[in-house]
């Protein structure tokens, strides 16, 4: 394991603001960032799925490569409108259309739909991003020109909840397998707890003496390829108020630079800016990052 300062910077990594953590956990968010192109230029499309006591919704944000926000659209089809619709925008002479249909969508415990839906972002009648399993319906509705979108999935930030075991699913590579991820804090509340991470129910990482190693990093293998895992469970072990542990799974070992240069002071804000994502992923080919905020259900 690398030295603590080299992994997390001199000031370490701060996770959730403990004074506001209890109220924020009532809303579940999943934020996904995709790299695409707008009129031949790189751009980032950020999709945030939300679920709270009022219902479910999502937002779509588009930034250019210089971190300038081109547009942001809030879509709340479960509350204020039909579950299908569209929004039309014009940015710098380019036409941006957003189409969605959740009328047959099926959901699990999280805010993201599992199947029976599409969400499409179209630039000047070219498909920039298409999510969901109803691709034929999406192309018919949008009249977008083929070929299909070549957008790449570069980052996902998710809030997960549990008492002892925290679970989610993730796909680390394009066209790769979807894996079950579980994080368990064994012996929580005892003098010598340990951290256990399983992929598809198989143990891939165990951290003993967690009171001393509450921050660190380790490389695991998924589909035969290296994935760097960073963890910070300080709030689980030492915080007197509600707070989350934070984990990052990164498909490139050079993720250390990205992690150590960021300060995750608020889990509802991306731990680095859109311009940093674009610069790092283009210049270093960082691949995919999965950031998990694990909240204890009291």
Residue-wise pLDDT tens digits, 1-48: 343 233 333 223 323 333 334 344 446 889 999 988 877 788 899 999
Percent of the chain at pLDDT > 70 equals 75
**Of 111, 131, 153, which closes a domain?**
153
Domain check: are 192 and 123 in the same one? no
Q: Going by C-beta distance under 8 Å and a sequence separation of 6 or more, which residues neighbour residue 218?
A: 1, 205, 207, 228, 229
> 157-201 pLDDT, tens per residue?
999 988 889 999 888 877 778 899 999 987 655 677 899 999 999
How many whole angstroms separate alpha carbon 13 and alpha carbon 41?
33
pLDDT at 115: 93
Instruction: Report CA torsion sign: 296, 243, 25, 178.
Output: negative
Domain check: are 130 and 147 in the same one? yes
Which neighbouring-strand residues pair with 249? 229, 290
Domain check: are 146 and 239 in the same one? no
How many whole angstroms separate alpha carbon 41 and alpha carbon 53?
39
Domain check: are 241 and 146 in the same one? no
> At 297, phi and psi to the nearest 5?
-80, 120
pLDDT at 168: 92
pLDDT at 152: 87
Q: Are 148 and 130 in contact (CB under 8 A)?
A: yes
Two structure tokens written together for 243: 């707070």
Domain check: are 142 and 64 in the same one? yes
Domain that holds residue 265: 4-26+159-296
Quick one: average pLDDT of 98-105?
Answer: 91
Domain check: are 34 and 8 in the same one? no
Supply the DSSP symbol for 112.
Answer: S
Domain check: are 109 and 138 in the same one? yes
Helix (H, G, I), strand (E, B) or coil at 248: strand
**Of 117, 132, 153, which closes a domain?**
153
Two structure tokens written together for 61: 């944000």
Domain check: are 73 and 148 in the same one? yes
pLDDT at 237: 85
> 121-147 pLDDT, tens per residue?
998 888 999 999 999 999 999 998 777
Cα three-residue angle 156-289-234, rounded to 5 degrees = 90
> 208-225 pLDDT, tens per residue?
988 899 999 999 999 888
Number of domains present in the structure of the chain: 2
How many whole angstroms separate alpha carbon 25 and alpha carbon 5?
30
**pTM, full prediction:** 0.77
Domain check: are 20 and 54 in the same one? no
Domain check: are 149 and 164 in the same one? no
Domain check: are 264 and 276 in the same one? yes
Domain check: are 166 and 278 in the same one? yes
């Amino acid at each position: 394991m690398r030295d603590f300062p080299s992994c997390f910077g001199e000031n370490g990594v701060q996770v959730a603001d403990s004074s506001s953590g209890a109220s924020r956990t009532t809303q579940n968010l999943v934020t996904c960032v995709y790299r695409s192109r707008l009129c031949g230029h790189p751009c980032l499309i950020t999709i945030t799925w939300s679920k709270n006591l009022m219902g479910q919704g999502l937002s779509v944000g588009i930034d250019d490569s210089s971190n300038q926000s081109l547009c942001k659209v809030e879509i709340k089809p479960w509350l204020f409108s039909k579950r299908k619709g569209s929004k039309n925008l014009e940015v710098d002479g380019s036409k941006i259309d957003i189409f969605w249909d959740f009328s047959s969508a099926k959901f699990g415990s999280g805010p993201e739909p599992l199947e029976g839906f599409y969400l499409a972002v179209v630039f000047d009648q070219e498909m920039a991003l298409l999510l969901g399993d109803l691709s034929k319906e999406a192309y018919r509705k949008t009249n977008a020109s083929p070929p299909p979108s070549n957008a790449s999935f570069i980052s996902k930030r998710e809030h997960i909840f549990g008492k002892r075991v925290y679970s989610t699913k993730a796909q680390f590579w394009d066209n790769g397998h979807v894996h079950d991820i579980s994080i368990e804090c064994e012996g929580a509340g005892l003098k010598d707890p340990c951290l256990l991470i399983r992929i598809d129910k198989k143990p891939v990482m165990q951290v003993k003496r967690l009171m001393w190693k509450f921050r660190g990093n380790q490389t695991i293998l998924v589909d035969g390829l290296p994935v760097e895992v960073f963890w910070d469970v300080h709030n689980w072990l030492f915080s007197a108020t509600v707070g989350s542990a934070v984990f990052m799974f990164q498909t490139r070992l050079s993720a250390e630079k990205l992690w150590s240069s960021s300060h995750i002071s608020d889990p509802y804000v991306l731990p680095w800016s859109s311009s940093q994502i674009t610069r790092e992923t283009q210049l270093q080919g960082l691949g995919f990052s999965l950031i998990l905020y694990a909240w204890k259900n009291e």
